[in-house]
Structure 1
Amino acid sequence: MKNRLTLMARSPMLLLVGSSFVFATKIMVAKAALSAGALPFQLAFVGNLGAGLLVFGLILRSGERIPTSRAHILLYLGLGIISFAAPTVLSYAVVDRVGPAYTSTVYALSPILTMSFAAGLGIERMYLRRFLGILIGLTGMLILVQQQFTQIDTDATLWVALGLLIPAFAAIGNVIRSKFWPAGTSALAFAGATLLTSSVLVLCMAPLFEDPRTWEFSLPVLWGWIALMIAVSAISYVLNFQLQKVAGPVVFSQIGYWGTGFGVVLAALLFGDVLTALSLIGLAAIICGGVIARRAAGKGHTAPT
Structure 2
Amino acid sequence: MTALIQRLPPPPLGVVWGLLLINGLLIALMLALSKVATAQGMPATTYAFWQTLIAGLILLVRAVPIRAMVEKRLMVYFFISGLTGIAIPNVTAFYLVAKLGTGFTGIMYALPPIFTFLMATSMGLEQRNWRRLSGLSIAVLACGWIILQRHANMGQSEPLWYALGLLIPSMLSVGNIYRAVAWPSRATPMTLAAGTLLASAAALALFAQLTGTPLIARDASPNLLTILAVQGVLTALAYLCAFEIQKRATPVFFSQLGAVAAVFGLIIGVAWFKEQYSLTIWLGVLLVILGLRMSNRQRAVDQCP
Aligning the two structures, in what range does the TM-score lie when normalised by the shorter sequence? 0.7 to 0.9
Once the two structures are TM-superposed, the CA of residue 150 in structure 1 deviates from its matched residue by 1.3
Q: Which amino acid is the alignment partner of residue 222 of structure 1? A: L
Distance 1:114 1:302, change over 3 A: closer
Q: 1:161, 1:294 → 2: CA distance?
A: 30
Q: 1:121 aligns with which of 120, 123, 126?
A: 123
Q: Do residues 202 (structure 1) and 236 (structure 2) align?
A: no
* Residues 223/76 of structure 1: CA separation in 2 closer, same or farther (3 Å cut): same
1:77 and 1:170 mapped to 2: Cα distance? 14
* C-alpha distance in structure 2 between counterparts of 1:222 and 1:104, whole Å: 25
Give unmatched runs, 5+ long, in structure 2.
1-10
SS of structure 2 residue aligned to 1:212:
coil
Structure 1 vs Structure 2: percent identity of aligned residues? Answer: 26
Displacement after TM superposition at 1:263 (Å) = 2.3
Residue 217 (structure 1) shift: 5.3
- On the 8 A contact 2:46/2:216 being kept in 1, the answer is no
RMSD over aligned Cα atoms: 3.1
Alignment-derived partner of residue 14 in structure 1: 18
Correspondence 1:34-45 to 2 at 5 A: 34-45=38-49
Structure 2 equivalent of residue 135 of structure 1: 137
- Take 1:8 and 1:121, find their aligned partners in 2: how far apart are those partners? 26
Picking from 236, 249, 252, the partner of 2:251 is: 249
Which of 4, 25, 33 in structure 1 is aligned with 2:29?
A: 25
1:123 Cα offset (Å): 1.8
Q: CA offset at residue 173 of structure 1?
A: 0.5
Structure with the higher fraction of residues in helix conformation: 1
Letter paired with 2:37: A
Q: What are the within-5 Å matches in structure 2 for residues 78-157 of structure 1?
A: 78-92=80-94, 103-154=105-156
Aligned to 2:224: 222
Match of 1:4 in 2: none
How far did residue 100 of structure 1 move?
6.3
Structure 2 counterpart of 1:42, one-letter code = T
Match of 1:181 among 166, 180, 183: 183
Q: Shift in Å at residue 296 of structure 1? A: 2.6
Using the TM superposition, name which of 98-107 and 145-154 deviates more. 98-107
Query: Structure 2: which amino acid aligns with 1:279?
Result: I
SS in 1 for 2:258: helix
**What pairs with 1:257-272 in structure 2 (closer than 5 Å)?**
257-271=259-273
| Corresponding residue number in structure 2 for 1:294 | 296
Mapped contact 2:110–2:140 kept (Cα < 8 A)? yes
Structure 1 counterpart of 2:17, which letter? Answer: M
* Cα distance change of structure 1 residues 257 and 71 upon mapping to structure 2, 3 Å threshold: same
The alpha-carbon deviation at position 51 of structure 1 amounts to: 0.1
Report the Cα offset of residue 17 of structure 1.
Answer: 1.3
Q: What amino acid is the match of 1:189?
A: T
Structure 1 segments unaligned to the other structure (5+ residues): 1-6
Higher mean Cα deviation, 83-92 or 250-259?
A: 83-92
Structure 2 residue aligned with 1:57: 61
With 222-231 and 101-110 compared, the bigger mean Cα shift is at 101-110
Answer yes or no: is 1:47 the counterpart of 2:65: no
Question: How far, CA to CA, are the matches of 2:144 and 2:274 in structure 1?
Answer: 20
> Higher mean Cα deviation, 235-244 or 128-137?
128-137
Residues 211, 299 of structure 1: CA spacing in aligned structure 2 closer, same or farther, 3 A cutoff? closer
Q: How many Å separate the matches in 2 of 1:30 and 1:289?
A: 28
SS in 1 for 2:135: helix
Deviations 1:159-188 (A, max 9, x none): 776554322221110011111111121111
C-alpha distance in structure 1 between counterparts of 2:162 and 2:242, whole Å: 25
TM-score, length basis structure 2: 0.84
1:250-275 Cα shifts (integer Å, max 9, x gaps):
00000121122222343455456541
Between 212-221 and 194-203, the greater mean CA deviation after superposition: 212-221
Residues 9 and 284 (structure 1), Cα distance of their counterparts in 2 relative to 1, 3 Å cut: closer
Is the contact made by 2:102 and 2:151 (CA closer than 8 Å) also made in structure 1?
Answer: no
